[in-house]
Amino acid sequence: MKVVMAHTFYKQKGGEDESYRAESRLLEDHGHHVERYERHNRELDALPAARIALKTIWNTQSAREIAAVTSQAQADVVHFQNTFPLMSPSVYGAARRQGAAVVQALRNYRHSCVNGLLFRDGQICEACTGRAFALPGIEHRCYRHSAVGSAVVASMQSTHKLLRTYDRQVDLFIAVSSFVRQKYIEFGIDPERIVVKPNFVYPDPGAQLATGSYAVFVGRLSAEKGARRLIEVWLRERLGMELRIVGDGPERAGLEALADDHDGISFLGSLPLTETYAQIAGAAFVVVPSEWYEPFGRTAVEGLAHGTPVVCAAIGGLGEIVQDGVTGFTFTPGHSDSLAGALHQAVARRDDVSMRTDARAAYERWYSPDSNYAVLISAYQRAMNHRQGR
């Protein structure tokens, strides 16, 4: 099979970037021909605001380039990961006109939410769901705290809803969790064209079943990820274990001030993937305290892959990953006492090798490369059948 993988990288690396790389490598290692079309949001730094606005809604350059790549590769499928903002939805029709089936990954909520998170001012927000135009998103300056920027994103959304771009130009959507699939059905996407395929870890890092001496948080240091609540609870509960924070983001300075050089909390910054994996492998448990509708929770699966139990909020796609008391512990999102209880349970069972074994087994069953490959190829075949009118 010939596949074009298309992705716009974020300025700050994240799980979507790694998932794009993993799927591309997986296909190549199974003998498929993969061409990559990549953009990077750092390109925005060289563009005036007016041009960014136009490109976000309709980028003719990206459309031409996608058409050329698709034609040259004689692609059967063009799999779009993140198209925002530099590709724009214009790329779907460009790929389809070359005869390829179009697949779009669903890893955030950008279709109907201006900031893509369904999260505002520290809490879940669905004010724009079901609206033809996301006026509340503009009023609250949801995109980068800018009314103008938010208006551009809302205009992109409403334009392509009006044009029925997603109905007419995308053959299949791949949601990373059942939760995300349900949200997109609420957004108006045909449920028959949404399949669920979780993210996975590739290559398999292998299990490290030795018990660890610290807990680790891995992720962007922003409000929706819940790091502030985690640190507050950690300081309050005095759990007798080190907490390591891996990642960077807009809240880092404030979080470091909150920890106030506490010798039980270490900020390691953004690390290369191999070093991040080493931190996960050596931990007693991973903590994923998200307070937004986490679409999936890649860090949780990275924990399972290493045989490291996971403490996570039962919210969004995260609630589908961890089996409470078996592969980790879950807690009520946004509730400090519930988080504290889960942390105490994890500390109490830090030497429980059976939990680490069960965590690894869950990875092998649901999130391994082999199980993921079968679902991905089935999705591509379904998309091609749709493209051909079958």
Same-domain pairing of 295 and 172: no
Same-domain pairing of 350 and 285: yes
> What pLDDT band is residue 11 in, cutting at 50, 70 and 90?
confident
Same-domain pairing of 358 and 373: no
In a domain, 36, yes or no: yes
Same-domain pairing of 196 and 320: no
In a domain, 232, yes or no: yes
Q: Most confidently modeled of 45-49, 126-130, 259-263?
A: 126-130
Same-domain pairing of 180 and 31: yes
Same-domain pairing of 276 and 316: yes
Same-domain pairing of 223 and 324: yes
Radius of gyration of the chain from its Cα atoms, rounded to whole angstroms: 21
In a domain, 293, yes or no: yes
What is the chain's mean pLDDT, rounded? 95
Q: Please determine, for residue 261, whether its predicted confidence score (pLDDT) is greater than 80.
A: no
Q: Are 105 and 199 in contact (CB under 8 A)?
A: no
> What pLDDT band is residue 211 in, cutting at 50, 70 and 90?
confident
pLDDT tens for 72-85 read 999 999 999 999 99
Domain span at 302: 214-366
Per the structure, the count of domains in the chain is 2
Query: Quick one: which of 343, 324, 327 has its CA closest to 335?
Result: 343
Same-domain pairing of 242 and 276: yes
Same-domain pairing of 309 and 324: yes
pTM: 0.94
Same-domain pairing of 312 and 383: no
pLDDT at 385: 97
Q: Output the six-digit token pair for 48.
A: 């005036």
In a domain, 237, yes or no: yes
Same-domain pairing of 82 and 30: yes
Interior/surface letters 230-262, b for 16+ CB within 10 angstroms, e for the rest? bbbbbbeeebebbbbbbbbbebbeebbeebeee
pLDDT tens for 273-307 read 999 999 999 999 999 999 999 999 999 999 999 99
Same-domain pairing of 343 and 294: yes
In a domain, 126, yes or no: no
For residue 64, the domain's CATH number is 3.40.50.2000
pLDDT > 90 in the chain, percent: 90
> What pLDDT band is residue 265 in, cutting at 50, 70 and 90?
very high
Q: Are 76 and 1 in contact (CB under 8 A)?
A: yes
